[in-house]
Chains A and B, each alone.
Chain A
Amino acid sequence: MSTAEFAPDGDEHEPIVAPPHKVYPKKVLGEFRRIKWGIQLFTLTVYYLLPFVRWDRGPNEPSQAVLLDLQHRRFYFFFIEIWPQEVYYATGLLIIAALTLFLMNAVAGRIWCGYMCPQTVWTDLYIMTERWIEGDARDRIRKDAGPWTAQKIREKLTKHFLWLLIAWWTGGAWVLYFADAPTLVYKLATFAPGCGEAYMWIGIFTFTTYVFAGVMREGLCLHMCPWPRIQASLTDEYALNVTYRYDRGEPRQSVKQAAALRAKGLPAGDCVDCGQCVAVCPTGVDIRKGASLGCIQCGLCIDACDGVMEKVGRPPRLIGYDTEMNVKRRACGQPAIYKPIRARTVLYAALIAGIGGFMIFTLATRANLHLSVLHDRNPLTVKLSDGGVRNAYTIHVANMNPEPRRFVLEVAGAAGAQMEAVGAPRDAEGRIVLDVGADQTREARILLTIHGGPADRKPLPLEFSMREIETGRSVTARDAFLWP
């Protein structure tokens, strides 16, 4: 028998995305459902409680472990403090996040979608609430099709109220990441003035949570999310995916027929066409039709099918995490092969380790000090009355430590240059000294004058350095000295 005969329905007219129909996911119990509950509990707990975790950074510094302080332009993440000029750390985190997604995808398909994506987590929470109030899928279909009774109205109102409550709490937790959480909670609860922006964001996130998790659900995965499209080009024949093992399941037939065939020693498919895998699917996919853009790989159909297989006395995992290649290999009598370590996964892992390692290294060795130099653009150079040439620079020094520091400014590369700083007199040793307050930035105007200079009038490359007197640590910034 060739594999082609077992191929999923080759209906060429099947639309890529099915026209919308309401999905009523049925309750299911089993191994993957338990994993999903566990991850859901963990992610939601982290989301709702993280803003309340404290982290002592000393006086005059916020004591919130994770804080995005937009007002003062600082990001705090446990022991890490990010200044605006260091947003490349955020870029690095995003690159690592993307690569992690690629790696997860190469190893086990769209498990992000199925277990950790906020859309999945909140939709699951909403479906759970819905099931609790209105009953399981069959009850809901019956009630929705039936007339509006007092009970139906009461149930719908309760459901939407609870949904809005969850949405409101979700939006509320979001704003806590942007201000001191306990203080903000108190201010919000007492309607203190100046919280208008927080209320607005809570409103926006209440609305979006309610619409995304309550109304749109799988519609967002099917029609709005770019990941299924990207994922299709990243996956390969070795990636584990939720797969219907059609080599074992086809042809579908009743339990009796299959038993009769097996009694005669003939092969018989295990799929009894009960449709439970479709009934429990939150995105309304029929996994038996093969890999699908709509499948978020949450594994609930595996649980549903395993339950049925147990009842009909057949081995579990007619649907399971498997590769398309293995199904075909088994159909041809070849052994299944699993290869989680291959060029693709090794490359992703190496890139993640490399970028992560580089970020940790730069974080650990950064000087907590930043210097930037800006050459005056207008005029670029100034001719002095005695024939000397002057260039002016504006320097910004950021002291990222929580205590004041004193620095010496030096410049290398311009032999014989006289340096002056507007408003910064020299100390007894003739050095230009700048005091920068705790956690502050200071600006200074630097004037560099050269008499004579090279005959070719080529720009001189300069290196400004800011050296901390106490520790000797320094940072540098490059610029150039130009001629008229």
Chain B
Amino acid sequence: MSIDRHETNVRIDPLSGVSTTGHEWDGVEELNTPLPRWWVWTFIATVVWGVAYCFVYPAWPTASGGSEGFFGWHSRAAVEQDVAALQETRAPILQKIKNAPIDTIEKNPELLAAARTVGKVAFLNNCAPCHGAGAQGAKGYPNLNDDDWIWGGKLADIQSTIEHGVRWDADKDSRSGAMPAFGRDGILTPQQISDVADWVRTMADVPDALAPEPAGEKVYNENCAVCHGVEGQGNKAMGAPNLFDAIWLYGSDKPTIVKRISQGGGGVMPAWKGRLDDTTIKALTVYVHSLGGGQ
């Protein structure tokens, strides 16, 4: 059975009938099994396919841009085609949204579902960076799910805010309203600011509020009530928030309130008219309104 390995390394394995490669480790020999023919042909076919692919499709960079491929296929053109096809599919329902008065959309289940879908996509693409993916807001950026609206929560109010923005100088119809910097500009003393902050927190039932300060109420009535109202209910025309409710845009802790009174000012939102088409803004309005806080 055994052949002298120094003479020839080729040995036929008695079990499989296949020749060995001559490599042997501790008595374990490697069989010289050829690759299956189908495997080799598949491999050659993939090589041919790969080379052909490089010519059929754009592949080679050249000085002027790149090879065009035999059929002039282009990924950008393919995307444009897909987008056009998509727009064609969506056109009928978008047309219906466009034609329907905004107050009637929520009463029609089909239009409501479509507007919410279109609006949600627009929201995620444009609004989510500030207001959050679920419109949950953040410090300084209002939560759109709740019922507290600085500039009004009716459909028309929301639409107007989206179209023209807030304190957006480039749009003359933009929402505008300025809170004076009571501290920075020296209108109130630090003590007065501290007193009025305590009084507002008490009126708003903030859990750790101190006992009411009569001095704070006086400061409030003389300086704040003109915009925020005697009852603290705010004023939507000038974007003065309700101060005596449970919702706080920047936070309800005393240092935050003191800082807002001292520095004044307010947040900015871009005007979207012109950036988004009217139908998208309409759908966006319905989406925001239907989040739950719409009035």
Contact = CB atoms under 8 A, between A and B. Distances in A.
A376 B293 CA distance: 14
Contact of A13 (B14, B116, B143, B247): B14
Given A378-B132, A392-B292, A422-B290, A19 B246 contact: no
B134 interface: yes
Interface in B130-156: 132-134, 136, 143, 145-148
A342 interface: no
A422 B109 contact: no
Nearest to B289: A422
A385 B245 contact: yes
Nearest to B244: A385
A17 B145 CA distance: 68
Contacts of B122: none
Nearest to A436: B109
A386 to B, nearest CB: 7
B134 A378 contact: yes
A19 B292 contact: no
A378 B123 CA distance: 14
Contact of A19 (B16, B107, B146, B242): B16
Interface-centre pick from B14, B15, B109 (highest chain A CB count, 10 A): B109
Interface stretch (A153-161, A305-313, A442-450): A442-450
Interface string B8-28: 000000111100000000000
Contacts of B106: 422-423
B112 A384 contact: no
Given A422-B106, A422-B112, A385 B246 contact: yes
Contact of A447 (B17, B143, B292): B292
A379 interface: yes
For chain A, what secondary structure do more than half of its interface residues adopt (helix, strand, loop), or is it mixed?
A: loop
A385 B247 contact: yes
A377 B292 CA distance: 14
Nearest to A385: B245
A272 to B, nearest CB: 30
B127 interface: no
A384 B146 contact: yes
A379 B14 contact: no
Given A382-B143, A385-B247, A392-B145, A423 B290 contact: yes
Nearest to B149: A385
Contacts of B205: 387
A379 B134 contact: yes
A390 interface: yes
A15 B16 contact: yes
A445 B134 CA distance: 14
A422 to B, nearest CB: 5
A384 B113 CA distance: 25
B246 A386 contact: yes
A382 B246 contact: no
A426 interface: no
Nearest to A377: B134
Contact of B246 (A13, A377, A384): A384
Interface of A: 13, 15, 19, 376-379, 382-387, 390, 392, 420, 422-425, 435, 442-443, 445, 447
13 contacts: A15-B16, A378-B133, A378-B136, A379-B143, A382-B292, A384-B247, A386-B245, A387-B205, A390-B292, A422-B292, A423-B107, A445-B292, A447-B292
Given A379-B134, A382-B145, A385-B246, 6 more contacts: A15-B15, A379-B132, A379-B145, A384-B147, A385-B146, A385-B247
